[in-house]
Amino acid sequence: MNALQATNRNFIRASRLLGLDSKLERSLLIPFREIKVECTIPKDDGTLVSYVGFRVQHDNARGPMKGGIRYHPEVDPDEVNALAQLMTWKTAVANIPYGGAKGGIGCNPRELSMSEQERLTRVFTQRIHDLIGINRDVPAPDMGTNAQTMAWIFDEYSKFHGHSPAIVTGKPIDLGGSLGREAATGLGVVFGTEALLAEYGKSISNMKFVIQGFGNVGSYAAKFIYERGGKVVAVSDISGAIKNPNGIDIPALLKHKKGNASLKEFQGGDVMDPKDLLVHECDVLIPCALGGVLNKENAGGVKAKFIVEAANHPTDPEADEILSKKGVIILPDIYANSGGVTVSYFEWVQNIQGFMWEEETVNKVLHKYMKKAFDDIKAMCKIHDCNLRMGAFTLGVNRVARATMLRGWEG
């Protein structure tokens, strides 16, 4: 089952629990607008090359649409559609005034020089500048893009519309980016984990954690877990996996990784097969990498009591069923990794006000939002007698459906 089918399935289940009108249900599923553009640029050697860029704008009932732009060779329209829809529900769960969008360009950024990436980004912005906007659609970085990409979009967009720092989030600090944005997703994951564990009378200290993926989200999550006294007993990334039953020294590992060294070369742990990582002995498993990593093949072997979905869609529906039967508690992605988009919202607010916050303020307000969202999800679980995933989906879908009806929806 692909990402779009799984997202649609969760949406339809939530819609049935809420008793939504079938015409409204269909209307909420269909994207507001899909944009596809040709981007032709001269390469450094003078030859011309064309790429296809696109943007799916899913829903704007609760506010401007929000979502990442990815540069990746296999940009699958179905996946982008699913991720745009997921952003609609995610922003509603976090209770920030946005709808969902997602976009990208079908290219391999590793094969492009910096100047080629810049030309491509600027041409893409020229093609879509009149369809995005501070109060219409606000892009952000995603796979294969970063703060520099956002700086180019901001600059190109501003040539048409005047100085507009709020057009994108995830910008460099010097151009109006928010303090705390880089760590936000990882910190949000930890705030969510704390809220979940507190429900069961537990806390992070002395719990054993396994983290799959040691990029931005995984490394920050590991850092904050370590600082709170949690034991990270195994981690993995693209290069491999390591374990240490007494807990890995995360500050030392972060320092090791800063030198671009491979995870496997780290002295503070034993090399292990990355395939065994997800079924490694632990209390809390945090997948921070790709989608679909927990499936019907490996779900039966999972030993964790809690799974915190820091990645998008890491658990496929078959695995979901198996894990539920085993009594594993899953904190769903549309809540667990919403720290990033929440601090993106804070960045947008700061840009519109022209007044920047201290990092301490950013983190304090993020904690408040994450705690409130968790309490709201638990309330929905009680009403509908459902698990946390359905609690989150019913919460998000209900908020979007209500906004749609209140604005005047003719079914």
Is 211 within 8 Å of 239 (Cβ atoms)?
no
Between β-strands 208-212 and 231-237, what pairing exists: parallel, antiparallel or unpaired?
parallel
Q: What does the alpha-carbon distance between residue 338 and residue 93 come to, in Å, rounded to a whole number?
A: 9
With both helix axes pointing from N to C terminus, report the angle between 114-128 and 147-161 in degrees, rounded to the nearest 10.
40
**SS3 track for 219-273:** HHHHHHHHHCCCEEEEEEECCEEEECCCCCCHHHHHHHHHCCCCHHHCCCCEEEC
Q: Known catalytic residue: 231?
A: no
Which is the catalytic residue, given 90, 102, 171, 223?
A: 102
Q: What does the alpha-carbon distance between residue 77 and residue 59 come to, in Å, rounded to a whole number?
A: 17
Q: What angle do CA 248, 202, 234 make, to 5 degrees?
A: 20
Q: What does the alpha-carbon distance between residue 62 and residue 379 come to, in Å, rounded to a whole number?
A: 21
Q: What does the alpha-carbon distance between residue 140 and residue 99 come to, in Å, rounded to a whole number?
A: 14
Rounded to the nearest angstrom, the gap between the alpha carbon of residue 200 and the centroid of all alpha carbons in its chain is 26
Residue 220, token pair as written in the block: 């920050």
- Beta strands across the sheet bearing 65-71: 33-42, 48-57, 99-105, 65-71, 137-141
Q: Which residues are catalytic?
A: 102
